[in-house]
Chains A and B, each alone.
Chain A
């Protein structure tokens, strides 16, 4: 027996066995590793994602917090605050309605347009809603507009009988300069007027005050677009105005009333003057035109005048400050057509039953009022109200060329 050969063979066998074992072991380890990898991959991915998410968590939380803060602020600004303001105004109205003390409604110091389109329907709603006897109400305004408050206030006090026209213009201008033209809060001038009324008409008794700020505060959010039309209409009673056609001496039997004034709706430019002159000329071809030129200096609007155009006349008599709006109302009520700047008396004319064309060149500040007007006139069955955008007229060259477009006089009127 060859011991060496046996030893070599045994060593070979052992080496083979060892090799096979090691190969198997490696294979097993590799298989185990790959299966482990497969098994653990989702968990590993999830772990990696968790780490990433955890890292990004503060950022996401911060974003969510910012979003939530913005949403809360937005909700507070657009829903909570308007509602709180509404509650505050309504509780003030409830307090006003209680008792039997006279209620001073006004003093109205701002634009004519807001007075006819918002203030009057608001008061009508207030009287109806809170069952306030009109005998308790004392309307305070200017220009002899007592008949505008017919059926709302039992008594009317003319502001310009209490304060001279010059003083009124100066103090009102000072009020504008110190704040807004809208009466968002009672000012010094208001307090002075109330005191004068109390002394002169109420034997020194201080009346309850229903100040226009209540209306402005209630509807401010609507004008900004935060309150719905539904809300607005719930706080208004639209009614046509009693027509006050009186004797219109010196005026033709059929005529168009025209009142154009400068303002944000029609900025004063040579082009605008030309187009307006063309428009008035067109109307004058159809019927006589009466220009409502008051010649008064009560606010910062200036009249466009149309001197020199055939068939265009001015009011036959000079207007007094204390009655100028009465006269203008009468003239408009007697007119076959009213044509004027979209605002002020253009809102009034349909309520008097006069077909109206409101003209504007920029509707930036008019949009909510136009929206309201169209609904209001439908509700009160008012006369036709339409508008003309001078930009469209100009763009389409609807007005024929006119020469001498310079008939314009800068003058402050109401």
Chain B
């Protein structure tokens, strides 16, 4: 073949190739471009999807949270309505009502239970003769404006039995609070029913109060809710024969016991000893330590003698709280652990200094107490955080004895 023929053949072959493959190449090119676009697009789409998914998490979480909150609030309201219906069932009719038996802390009794019972009586217009209060330690005077029918638990069972069975109850229920009707409650109700000759009785049990106010303590219900379910009033001191105590004319009543707000650690003991000594330099001190093993709040003990006297030898289980109430009512001031009798003193018209080092479990009670005592107009209620005094070295302002040292700040 000469070169011309070859050129023609070559040209023809190229043309044929172009014709054959042109479409294919274009298709390949388009396909490649499309693939590339598809990758870009799918990447973009995936990115967008991931972004959307990420963003959708927030509204979902928010909605889940809202639903959870609504569910929680609904649960709170439902529980409250249930309790209110139960109260209505208890107070309806003319049958006698056993109020109690109160087995748990003094603080809750004074700050919540007694005002709650007062509210129930007023709101449902219950005849006082229908009410039979059951508590312990001779606290009939706390309920004096509610009813005169008071029965002391220690008239029914002995101190040792009460102590053992109450601790068993607390252990079984996992809390000292009376959230349900226990065996001990049933036994006491039966005995009191028989003693009083009551046939058909209803029980206004402390669990109703605990269940109702639980939502306030946990912050789900406002202070107004507590206000609308309680009636606070000044209390009158009982009249026990306390001549054996030979109380001074003017004295400061002191009661320090171990609590979560004032744990039994060396530093606290030292601070409290110094505090009591400092008070004793100004006024005689009457220590309200009972020596009774009634619950898990053991009393702090202090050296007595001189200007510090103790009531330990003179108090018996049956009247110990009543007698302490009377002693506080006659005192110049009350100083003690924040809780229990520290809430009682202002209701008796006595200034109360409530001492603590850890306020974590006190927030809602302090909040309620601050408002209540201003409204009630009794004695002044002054919380004292010892941990605040420490950096200032103030607890140790005793004129003669300086036991502790101001701690350097971290």
Q: Identify which of residues 369-410 in chain B touch chain A, using a CB-to-CB cut-off of 8 Å.
A: 370-371, 374, 380, 382-385, 387-389, 391-395, 397, 399, 406, 408-410
The residue in chain A whose Cβ has the minimal distance to the Cβ of B393 is: A282
Q: A386-B385, A391-B380 are in contact. Are A396 and B335 (CB under 8 A)?
A: yes
Interface locus among B86-94, B139-147, B156-164, B219-227: B219-227
The residue in chain A whose Cβ has the minimal distance to the Cβ of B215 is: A228
Report yes or no: A389 in contact with B222, Cβ–Cβ below 8 A.
Answer: no
Chain A residue contacts of B399, Cβ below 8 A: 400
Which of the residues A74, A286, A386 comes within 8 Å of B406, measured between beta carbons? A286
Q: A387-B388, A392-B383, A397-B278 are in contact. Are A227 and B393 (CB under 8 A)?
A: no
A-B interface contact total, Cβ < 8 Å: 119
The reply on B325 being an interface residue by CB < 8 A is no
The reply on B359 being an interface residue by CB < 8 A is yes
The reply on B282 being an interface residue by CB < 8 A is yes
Given A78-B224, A229-B222, A285-B406, 19 more A-B residue pairs with CB atoms under 8 Å apart are A78-B228, A229-B220, A233-B219, A285-B393, A286-B391, A286-B393, A336-B409, A357-B388, A363-B370, A370-B366, A374-B359, A387-B383, A388-B388, A395-B353, A396-B278, A396-B384, A397-B282, A398-B394, A398-B397
Q: A395-B382, A398-B278, A398-B397 are in contact. Are A230 and B220 (CB under 8 A)?
A: yes
A residues apposed to B, CB below 8 Å: 74, 78, 222, 224-231, 233-234, 279, 282-283, 285-286, 336-337, 339, 355, 357, 363-364, 366-368, 370-371, 374-375, 378, 384, 386-389, 391-393, 395-400
Chain B residue contacts of A391, Cβ below 8 A: 351, 380, 382
Roughly how many angstroms separate A282 CA and B392 CA in the complex, as a whole number?
A: 6
Chain A residue contacts of B360, Cβ below 8 A: 378
Can you give 7 contacting A-B residue pairs, CB < 8 Å?
Answer: A78-B228, A226-B224, A233-B219, A337-B391, A337-B409, A367-B374, A388-B394
The residue in chain B whose Cβ has the minimal distance to the Cβ of A400 is: B397
Report yes or no: A357 in contact with B353, Cβ–Cβ below 8 A.
Answer: no
Roughly how many angstroms separate A375 CA and B362 CA in the complex, as a whole number?
A: 12
Report yes or no: A228 in contact with B219, Cβ–Cβ below 8 A.
Answer: yes
Roughly how many angstroms separate A154 CA and B134 CA in the complex, as a whole number?
A: 64
The residue in chain A whose Cβ has the minimal distance to the Cβ of B58 is: A131
Which of the residues A222, A285, A336, A378 comes within 8 Å of B222, measured between beta carbons? A222
Q: How far is the CB of B360 from chain A (nearest CB, A)?
A: 8
The reply on B279 being an interface residue by CB < 8 A is yes
Report yes or no: A389 in contact with B384, Cβ–Cβ below 8 A.
Answer: yes
Roughly how many angstroms separate A336 CA and B410 CA in the complex, as a whole number?
A: 8
Chain B residue contacts of A355, Cβ below 8 A: 391, 409-410
The residue in chain B whose Cβ has the minimal distance to the Cβ of A356 is: B388
Binding site of B, secondary structure by majority: helix, strand, loop or mixed? Answer: mixed
Number of interface residues of B (CB under 8 A): 46
The reply on B262 being an interface residue by CB < 8 A is no
Roughly how many angstroms separate A370 CA and B367 CA in the complex, as a whole number?
A: 8
Report yes or no: B221 in contact with A228, Cβ–Cβ below 8 A.
Answer: yes
The reply on B245 being an interface residue by CB < 8 A is no
The reply on B363 being an interface residue by CB < 8 A is yes
Roughly how many angstroms separate A275 CA and B133 CA in the complex, as a whole number?
A: 46
The residue in chain A whose Cβ has the minimal distance to the Cβ of B279 is: A396
Q: How far is the CB of B322 from chain A (nearest CB, A)?
A: 26
The residue in chain B whose Cβ has the minimal distance to the Cβ of A358 is: B388
Roughly how many angstroms separate A2 CA and B2 CA in the complex, as a whole number?
A: 199
Roughly how many angstroms separate A230 CA and B73 CA in the complex, as a whole number?
A: 10
Chain A residue contacts of B391, Cβ below 8 A: 283, 286, 337, 355, 357
Which of the residues A229, A378, A387 comes within 8 Å of B219, measured between beta carbons? A229
The reply on B347 being an interface residue by CB < 8 A is no
Q: Identify which of residues 310-337 in chain B touch chain A, using a CB-to-CB cut-off of 8 Å.
A: 333, 335
Roughly how many angstroms separate A395 CA and B333 CA in the complex, as a whole number?
A: 8
Roughly how many angstroms separate A378 CA and B359 CA in the complex, as a whole number?
A: 11
Chain B residue contacts of A399, Cβ below 8 A: 394, 397
Roughly how many angstroms separate A244 CA and B124 CA in the complex, as a whole number?
A: 59
Report yes or no: A367 in contact with B382, Cβ–Cβ below 8 A.
Answer: no
Roughly how many angstroms separate A366 CA and B371 CA in the complex, as a whole number?
A: 10
Against A, the Cβ 8 Å flags (1 = close, 0 = not) of B218-254 are 0111111101100000000000000000000000000
Roughly how many angstroms separate A1 CA and B17 CA in the complex, as a whole number?
A: 178
Report yes or no: A279 in contact with B394, Cβ–Cβ below 8 A.
Answer: yes
Report yes or no: A364 in contact with B406, Cβ–Cβ below 8 A.
Answer: no
Q: A355-B409, A367-B367 are in contact. Are A225 and B385 (CB under 8 A)?
A: no
Roughly how many angstroms separate A336 CA and B351 CA in the complex, as a whole number?
A: 34
Chain B residue contacts of A364, Cβ below 8 A: 374
Chain A residue contacts of B333, Cβ below 8 A: 395
Q: A336-B409, A387-B388 are in contact. Are A396 and B224 (CB under 8 A)?
A: no
Roughly how many angstroms separate A336 CA and B333 CA in the complex, as a whole number?
A: 35
Q: How far is the CB of B408 from chain A (nearest CB, A)?
A: 8
Q: How far is the CB of A198 from chain B (nearest CB, A)?
A: 34
Roughly how many angstroms separate A283 CA and B382 CA in the complex, as a whole number?
A: 22
Q: How far is the CB of B286 from chain A (nearest CB, A)?
A: 15
Report yes or no: B384 in contact with A227, Cβ–Cβ below 8 A.
Answer: no
Report yes or no: A393 in contact with B394, Cβ–Cβ below 8 A.
Answer: yes
Report yes or no: A375 in contact with B353, Cβ–Cβ below 8 A.
Answer: no
Roughly how many angstroms separate A231 CA and B220 CA in the complex, as a whole number?
A: 8
